[in-house]
């Protein structure tokens, strides 16, 4: 009888440990679900903005970006030709 009681107590401790682990895993799953929901909302919002964007505004932004990129290329080419020995 005593052995059966000890076995029962030991299994209850093991059960409590398993329940704690399950609770921890459930919390992690809930956190992941919340994070996924937030990311899904952000992606859907971005997708909606892309689909409903104004073509003239998009063309203007593209032209502006191209101009900035050309300026960067021009400055890089100019800087590559600079030499300290030219100024000494």
Residue 26 lies in domain: 1-52
Which pTM value belongs to this model?
Answer: 0.43
* pLDDT class of 3 with cuts at 50, 70, 90: low
Q: Per-residue pLDDT tens for 11-47?
A: 677 788 888 899 999 999 999 999 999 999 999 998 8
Residue whose token pair is 């909302």: 41
Compute the distance between CA of residue 16 and CA of residue 10 in angstroms, rounded to an integer: 10
* Tokens representing residue 11 in the block: 């299994």
Rounded to an integer, the average pLDDT of 70-80 is: 93
Helix (H, G, I), strand (E, B) or coil at 42: helix
Domain count, the chain: 2
Domain check: are 7 and 46 in the same one?
Answer: yes
- Shared domain for 47 and 58, answered yes or no, is no
**Whether residue 39 is found in the same domain as residue 64:** no
């Amino acid at each position: 009888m005593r052995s059966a009681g000890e076995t029962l107590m030991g299994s209850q401790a093991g059960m409590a440990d398993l329940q704690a682990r399950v609770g921890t895993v459930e919390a992690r799953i809930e956190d992941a679900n919340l994070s996924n929901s937030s990311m899904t909302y952000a992606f859907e919002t971005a997708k909606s903005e892309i689909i409903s964007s104004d073509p003239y505004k998009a063309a203007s932004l593209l032209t502006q970006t191209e101009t900035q990129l050309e300026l960067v290329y021009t400055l890089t080419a100019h800087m590559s030709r600079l030499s300290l020995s030219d100024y000494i």
